[in-house]
Structure 1
Amino acid sequence: MYHLKEILTYFLLFLFRNCCSTDIIGPNQTLKDGNILVSSGKAFVLGFFGPEKSSNRYVGIWYNKVPEQTVVWVANRDNPIKGTSGVLAIDTAGNLVLFDGNHNFSVWSTNVTSMTLKKSPSAQLMETGNFVLFQDQSKSVITWQSFDYPTNTLLPNMKAGWNRRTGLNTSLSSWKSFDDPGTGDTVFKMELTGTPQFYLLMGTKRLWRTGPWNGLGWSGVPEMVSNFIFKILYVENDNEVTISYSIKDPSIFSRMVVNESGTLERLTWQGSERGWVRFWYVPTDPCDSYAHCGAFSNCDLFNLSEFECSCLPGFEPKLERQWYLRDASNGCKRKQGENICGNGDGFKKVINAKVPDTSIAHVNKSLELKECQELCLKNCSCTAFATANISGGNGCISWHGNLADIRQFSNKGQDLYIRVPAVEIAQDTRNSKGFRGKRLMATVIVLILAMLLILFLAYWLLKKKRKGTEGQIKRPFSFNTGLASYGGRAEEMEGSGTNVEVSIFDLSTIVSATEDFSLANKLGEGGFGAVYKGRLPNGQEIAVKRLSAISGQGNEEFKNEIKLIARLQHRNLVRLLGCCIQQDEKMLVYEYLPNKGLDYFIFDEARRSLMDWSKRFEIILGITRGMIYLHEDSRLRIIHRDLKASNILLDTSMNPKISDFGLARIFGVDQAQANTNRVVGTYGYMSPEYAMEGLFSVKSDVYSFGVLLLEIICGRKNSSYFEEDTVNLIGYVWDLWREEKALDLVDSSLDNSYDANKVLRCVHVGLLCLQEYAPDWPTMSEVLFMLCNETTLPYPKKPAFIFKKDNTLLYSSSASVENRSVNEMSITVIEAR
């Protein structure tokens, strides 16, 4: 409650002019409900807002240039005003105060008591989204700022963490619900015990942990790098321990948000998609959950065993029965009869690890790794150690007691050294000697087993031909009759009077093979649903495409994909094994390709170095041959309509196989092109005539191939952010080509180990596929000829769809463009999916 004198002050202030369309509140100004402050560059707005079905009103900050109102900060989140009587002003003490005019009391105040009052305090909404209270007109002293008191959102340039001078811990807390900005249960905050690290909590329960800062990023966030959008700043000194990020391109809106559902996510506004796109979030998988496997254990989704949890070296399950029931919550214990702190103790290394919870760890930043090991050996309570700074290789973190919340990544992470007794070290030594002694015997045994295996495989193949694959319903699947209840009459196969027959899998077989569609078996997710790895009862590995009930792929697309793939046989096309239609489920069963998609390699900073130029060129030729087969050599002329890196799968020998025929169309032998009102595919790969006019032909795939060809050479997506004038790959390559600098675009991971002439020819061919008008594009057979022969090539004309930094689209077609995008979201019926 405010005293009568302060209430009278408010009424006097209320009589003065209010602030509207400015960015400052002065000492004699007020901001009423209905008026707003707008930052100088018009990026943010401060004003009153409220849920649609409520009379509650709040003072908040939201984006001005985003059409969907997105509130990033709330002043009175736990004290709403009923109705529109709210007034925001600076009181006689120099504080910002939110006043309820109907009831004559304050509902929120900055409540700064230690400042020295000056004559002209002011509050300004900054272009960063920070609302700052200055002590006087000079604006040299900040007495309060909203960045120190965030709600559920971390904005660029906002610091999260501890101010050691003031003791302020800047943390995020979720809203109570979508319609209630009140303080929720989910919190993201830094704790300084041991080493600084952030926790995501729901109440007092820990949901997820970042791990300590290791010099490059948080130990538990291997994907955290200063990439094409962000610049990350971690500060740890006597004054503060904070993390912040900035965005290189100010036109990009990105925010990190704590949700009431218990997740932390990063969102970026996609204007063309008219929505916020989530591209990172946690917890993502079971191993993200805090201490999912209990103490002294390791969580590894890539483990070859069926269970993601395993005990650390020198440890065994604490409760074996629970462990075998896949309940590892009680963790592990030292192996029975093994004690540490004796002569001969040593360490075993766990690679690519998220190091254990460091709240019980000791840190010495002056020690080298070898000194760290020696120090740990001298202390019987020391259970593990690791380097504190993987970028510099120095600093020592040692753990004393339980090791909790360890997980293993497929790459990145860091090395963790687990203390084991002498008997474990001796066992490793004996195993090594025994291996050398048994090598000759093993060679003989292998030869015998190889002969037996050949005989067994011959017998098994013969048996399979006779009886079919175990777990399948042994009947043909007819498109003329079998799908009558799933979408009507099926199309006749061109050139064949017979029905298409594929194996039908029973739903129970698929459920068993994928372990009830477990998250550990999930390979990825596309616009039409998720893909899971499975293993049939006969041991054969499969990939199951489970169509989502809410996806865009209905019965026609489902029939289409089966019909096409079942009839197509080529080494560069994925092989369909069968399908499952039971209850509400529709699933496709493919051969399993262990190396995932082409995008998994060429767009990843670490993995793309595994693919040298010769392998990339082989993949380019393999894709070309596969497309020639679809367009010219098969009994059916197939237009794929969704050719992109994620739809190119790689087998064990890294041979490419074209997949995902859900959007493909069959053409007649003499048919040149077709028209559709249902534009489907992926922005960034669509040809201009198809994206803008609905016209498609074999040439439509040629344009998509041109984009894919340039991506393979550059190791970057067409939608990547470029520092140059253009913001997509096509424009970037075109500019360098005209400047005769095409070799500058080659993926840096190739390190000049490529044939320059062959690379230039590939770039040339790619640009020929991307010219503005379809009649100028080569056929796929012409593409193969140009790639494999040293013939003179015509100079390419200007490509279509060159996106410039000012968001303009350089394309001279008379067709209008309403939705402009350079992302990779697939679309159907001109809507992104």
Structure 2
Amino acid sequence: MCRVIWFLKTLLVSQLFHFSASMNAITPNNSIKDGEVIDSTEKIFTLGFFSPGKSTKRYVGIWYYQDPDKAIVWVANRDDPINDRSGVLSINNGNLVLSEKNQTVIVWSTNVSVTSTSNTKAQLLDTGNLVLVERDTKKTLWQGFDHLTNTLIPFMKLGLDRQRSVNWSLTSWKSPDDPGTGNYSYRFDSTGFPQLSLYRGPDKIWRTGSWTGQRLIGIPEIQWSKISFSTFEDNEDELSSMYGVTNSSVRIRLVLNESGVTQRFSWDKRWIQFASAPMEQCDYYGNCGANSNCNPYNVGYVDFECTCLPGYEPENPQSWFYRDGSDGCRRKQGMSTCQKGEGFVKVARLKVPDTNVTHVDLSLGLKECERKCLSNCSCLAYTSAYAESEGGATGCLTYHGNMMDARTYTNTGQDFYVRVNATELALYKKNGSLLAKKTIVILSLVALLFTITLMFSFFRRKKKRKAKYRTSSFNLAASSTYLDDSFDIQEQDGNTRDPDLPMFDLRTIVAATDNFSTDNKLGEGGFGSVYKGRLHNGKEIAVKRLSKYSGQGIEEFKNEILLIAKLQHRNLVRILGCSIEAEEKMLIYEYLPNRSLDCIIFYETQSSLLDWGKRLDIIWGIARGILYLHQDSRFRIIHRDLKASNVLLDATMNPKISDFGMARIFGGDQIEANTNRVVGTYGYMSPEYAMQGLISVKSDVYSFGILMLEIITGRKNSKFLVEDSASSYLVGHVWNLWNEGKSIEIVDKALGESYPADEVLRCIQIGLLCVQEQAIDRPTMSAVIFMLGNVNGLPSPKQPAFIGNKISFVAGSSTSEGVGSVNEVTISMFQGR
């Protein structure tokens, strides 16, 4: 009897082992039904049936084995769903076939010619590639990597297989509930010099630029050289780009989503988005029209990203004046570039224009390329083909038509050489020489003034003069040349930029504000007042004047000067300069006519100015601004005082985050800090920051969540009172309604019924996720932006923080400054535990 039991156990184990061993392949004798899966050999990928989003339709797809949410990386029958769970994936007449209704109806097939119908198998490889192979010869008859959907994973190729006429390209899903072929595609454009481009239908909307020798120029450089690599092939067999990983444990994927955005994710116990494109206005194809340069970093007094290339002028000056550059630029009138004395002006750090109007000669160096272009009157510009190849720039691209879609980068890009006539060339050389001389003189003066300042400070301290709140405590004025409102500086590349931070003469500001007239007063806060002003040239400005009696604002003032001058983003307020004389300390900003957000959303007479579309745009803009601070700026910056009164609105209601006096700079890999000086505004502070002094990017996420709920509801968090409610505050009330399925009731009445309820509810849910009590439960700003742009299922929020009827702080308080209103109580300082 014991021997019988032992034999049965052995047989059972043997059968289970055989079944398990075959589960990375489908053979003529081994198919899978809906509900069953196969795994790759090392259990990196899984293939099985799934239903996307809220759909009940069934598809066959592949996902990472360890991903509990099954983020799909490939779909077999994307345009041919099964309506029930009768699907079977099997080998039929040598092909891999998906069938339904007891295998009587074929839904999808690999559809290739096979010599033996019983000699094939379908196997899921550890790369995620599903292959149909001949079992004896191991020859690949068909592979999933030749039929991409919306996702690129390591070792998938984008491009063209010229021998087999296969096009490797991504196409978006129709929606999160439908993986069918959508309207966006991401593919190689082989016209001219090869480059990857993103299309909406037939229209190009973004391009990566060409291969530099190490990467595609329009894709931000990622410092992953130890774990990943990129390749580019352009030969008679194929044109392709591919990235791979050196360690199979690394999980990276690129997704072309339903909105036409390419998103890059990495895996660290969950998918984390680390990049996306197109991301800003200059990313969009032809944003500034032909023969122009889109520069998103134009700061100071030039609030327009479009500039004409050297030798060109706006095609439509009136549209250009109104900040519409879509008509582009034309050759300056009377300019000919086919005479004696013409040459080239270098424009640095560009994603060079679209290469579909180029001639390519890879045998030439840059000097030979210049001579070739100069000898041909139709040649308008030139650049290197490979800017980052070994031994320096190589190859020659010459341009012979309208130059579209150039844009500037800060630390990357290529040098681009634009042809101009002799007169224009002389002008650029003269300006360059004058600029160099001026720079030497200014640096010498600064060094001299700095030395004098040090001596003055030494003797001043020696005499023990009180200087805590005087100009010497922030000695910027002593090391800078005072400037008036003649601030335009022409650089060699033709762009107009401000110096590091212009200094304004006090007399200029007094005249601009009519001696700080009360009629020009915009608002008042604990650190001083804000005034509207107009310079002699007509430029409107906003002046933040630090109160001479304010002892608590010196550090904040200094922080804001040093910090915001280095920030460049369309959703951050632009600082134009400062003025420091005697007891007067002032910051000069761009003037934003619609003042601050709180002046609109919290007042019934004004809130109707913002329909749902505008409110959602404001939410998007604030989120992009915070993401820039947290991730994309030169420093990782925590704002610490994000609130409605610190969001300013320009003439088109574009939001701009302001007031960086309380901001904190983090190191590149620093994620958290502790402070004994807790600053911020009551109602917007995260619990770990308010109670323990812990600062992180999640502190700003909490404030953003509060602000988001305020924008949706038109009510202040700190002043919301409801009788018979479990909470006196907005967050608590929204939470209660959310639990009861009634959160739509809290939407601002000024919106009427003209809003998409599902979109508003999704935003309320995102807002609640941002105000979770535990920082770890809150999403990052990149995740927030992803959730705003996608309608996939969102996590369920937990009970948020601070929803009780009373919140007590033992702290001093003051009123924080803000353009346009007197704000809520601001916590100026208290001791964190």
Q: TM-score range by the shorter chain?
A: 0.5 to 0.7
Q: Paired residue for 1:125?
A: 124
CA contact (8 A) 2:125 2:131 kept: yes
Q: Deviations over 1:633-660 (max 9, x none)?
A: xxxxx35799xxxxxxxxxxxxxxxxx9
Matches for 1:487-506 after TM superposition, within 5 Å: 503=529
Q: Paired residue for 2:725?
A: none
Q: Paired residue for 2:178?
A: 180
Q: Paired residue for 1:232?
A: 230
CA contact (8 A) 1:386 1:396 kept: yes
Q: Displacement, 1:168?
A: 0.9
CA distance in 2, matches of 1:251, 1:95: 32
CA contact (8 A) 1:217 1:225 kept: no
CA distance in 2, matches of 1:282, 1:160: 17
What SS does the aligned partner of 2:427 have?
helix
Q: Paired residue for 1:343?
A: 340
- Alignment gaps of 5+ in structure 2: 1-17, 450-480, 486-502, 533-539, 543-563, 579-585, 603-614, 617-636, 701-773, 785-796, 802-833
CA contact (8 A) 2:349 2:408 kept: yes
Q: Displacement, 1:466?
A: 7.4
Q: Paired residue for 2:806?
A: none
Q: Paired residue for 1:316?
A: 313
CA distance in 1, matches of 2:438, 2:393: 38
Q: Name the Cα RMSD after superposition.
A: 5.3
Q: Paired residue for 1:260?
A: 258
Closer/same/farther in 2, CA of residues 116 and 831 from structure 1, 3 Å limit: farther
CA distance in 2, matches of 1:178, 1:188: 18
Moved more, 541-550 or 104-113: 541-550
Q: Deviations over 1:365-424 (max 9, x none)?
A: 110111001111111111111111122321111111111110011121010011112221
Aligned counterpart in structure 1 of residue 659 of structure 2, from 586, 590, 598: 590
Closer/same/farther in 2, CA of residues 682 and 200 from structure 1, 3 Å limit: closer
Does structure 1 residue 540 correspond to structure 2 residue 588? yes
Q: Displacement, 1:283?
A: 0.8
What SS does the aligned partner of 1:233 have?
strand
- Percent sequence identity over matched residues? 36
Moved more, 63-72 or 820-829: 820-829
Aligned partner letter, 2:325: A
Aligned partner letter, 2:62: I
Aligned partner letter, 1:242: S
Aligned partner letter, 1:337: G
Q: Paired residue for 1:580?
A: 645
CA distance in 2, matches of 1:310, 1:829: 49
CA distance in 1, matches of 2:214, 2:518: 50
Q: Paired residue for 1:326?
A: 323
CA distance in 2, matches of 1:380, 1:330: 25
Does structure 1 residue 83 correspond to structure 2 residue 80? no
CA contact (8 A) 1:175 1:184 kept: yes
CA contact (8 A) 1:684 1:823 kept: no
Q: Displacement, 1:136?
A: 2.1
What SS does the aligned partner of 2:370 have?
helix
Q: TM-score, normalised by structure 2?
A: 0.58
CA contact (8 A) 2:572 2:658 kept: no
Closer/same/farther in 2, CA of residues 682 and 212 from structure 1, 3 Å limit: closer
What SS does the aligned partner of 1:366 have?
coil
Aligned counterpart in structure 2 of residue 297 of structure 1, from 292, 296, 299: 292
Aligned partner letter, 1:45: T
Closer/same/farther in 2, CA of residues 402 and 163 from structure 1, 3 Å limit: same
Q: Displacement, 1:505?
A: 8.5
Q: Paired residue for 1:135?
A: 134
CA distance in 2, matches of 1:433, 1:251: 54
Aligned partner letter, 2:370: Q
Aligned counterpart in structure 1 of residue 145 of structure 2, from 141, 144, 147: 147
Closer/same/farther in 2, CA of residues 61 and 328 from structure 1, 3 Å limit: same
Q: Paired residue for 2:350?
A: 353
What SS does the aligned partner of 1:389 have?
coil
Closer/same/farther in 2, CA of residues 29 and 388 from structure 1, 3 Å limit: same
Aligned partner letter, 2:51: G
Aligned partner letter, 2:645: C
- Alignment gaps of 5+ in structure 1: 1-16, 478-499, 507-511, 515-519, 552-571, 605-622, 632-637, 643-659, 668-673, 686-816
Does structure 1 residue 108 correspond to structure 2 residue 173? no
What SS does the aligned partner of 2:61 have?
strand
Q: Displacement, 1:102?
A: 5.0
Q: Displacement, 1:535?
A: 5.5
What SS does the aligned partner of 2:385 have?
strand
CA contact (8 A) 1:342 1:421 kept: yes
What SS does the aligned partner of 1:34 have?
coil
Q: Paired residue for 1:192?
A: 190
CA distance in 2, matches of 1:666, 1:36: 46
Q: Displacement, 1:284?
A: 0.7
What SS does the aligned partner of 2:411 have?
coil
Q: Paired residue for 2:26?
A: 25
Q: Displacement, 1:178?
A: 0.6
CA contact (8 A) 2:504 2:577 kept: no
Closer/same/farther in 2, CA of residues 524 and 825 from structure 1, 3 Å limit: farther
Q: Displacement, 1:461?
A: 6.8
Q: Deviations over 1:141-181 (max 9, x none)?
A: 11111111110000111111111211211000000001001
Closer/same/farther in 2, CA of residues 42 and 171 from structure 1, 3 Å limit: same
Q: TM-score, normalised by structure 1?
A: 0.58
What SS does the aligned partner of 1:370 have?
helix
Closer/same/farther in 2, CA of residues 375 and 675 from structure 1, 3 Å limit: closer
Q: Displacement, 1:23?
A: 0.8
CA distance in 1, matches of 2:429, 2:393: 28
CA contact (8 A) 1:161 1:190 kept: yes
Closer/same/farther in 2, CA of residues 367 and 334 from structure 1, 3 Å limit: same
Matches for 1:289-438 after TM superposition, within 5 Å: 289-304=284-299, 305-391=302-388, 392-428=392-428
CA contact (8 A) 2:482 2:505 kept: no
Closer/same/farther in 2, CA of residues 292 and 436 from structure 1, 3 Å limit: closer
CA contact (8 A) 1:296 1:331 kept: yes
CA distance in 2, matches of 1:243, 1:409: 22
Q: Displacement, 1:36?
A: 1.1
CA distance in 2, matches of 1:346, 1:127: 55
Q: Displacement, 1:306?
A: 1.8
CA contact (8 A) 1:545 1:587 kept: no
CA distance in 2, matches of 1:264, 1:401: 29
CA contact (8 A) 1:345 1:420 kept: yes
- Which is bigger in relative contact order (C-alpha 8 A, separation at least 6)? 2
Closer/same/farther in 2, CA of residues 505 and 89 from structure 1, 3 Å limit: farther
Does structure 1 residue 209 correspond to structure 2 residue 207? yes
CA distance in 1, matches of 2:73, 2:640: 49
Q: Paired residue for 1:13?
A: none
Does structure 1 residue 283 correspond to structure 2 residue 278? yes
Q: Displacement, 1:269?
A: 3.0
Moved more, 580-589 or 288-297: 580-589
Q: Displacement, 1:473?
A: 4.4
Q: Paired residue for 2:716?
A: none
Q: Paired residue for 1:738?
A: none
CA distance in 2, matches of 1:474, 1:267: 43
CA distance in 1, matches of 2:57, 2:685: 48
Q: Displacement, 1:331?
A: 1.0
Q: Paired residue for 1:167?
A: 165
Matches for 1:61-100 after TM superposition, within 5 Å: 61-92=62-93, 94-100=94-100
What SS does the aligned partner of 1:45 have?
strand
Q: Displacement, 1:101?
A: 2.6
Closer/same/farther in 2, CA of residues 37 and 582 from structure 1, 3 Å limit: closer
Matches for 1:450-461 after TM superposition, within 5 Å: 457=506, 460=509
CA distance in 2, matches of 1:279, 1:451: 41
Q: Number of residue pairs matched?
A: 565
CA distance in 1, matches of 2:163, 2:483: 74
Q: Displacement, 1:431?
A: 5.5
CA distance in 1, matches of 2:566, 2:441: 40
CA distance in 1, matches of 2:207, 2:198: 6
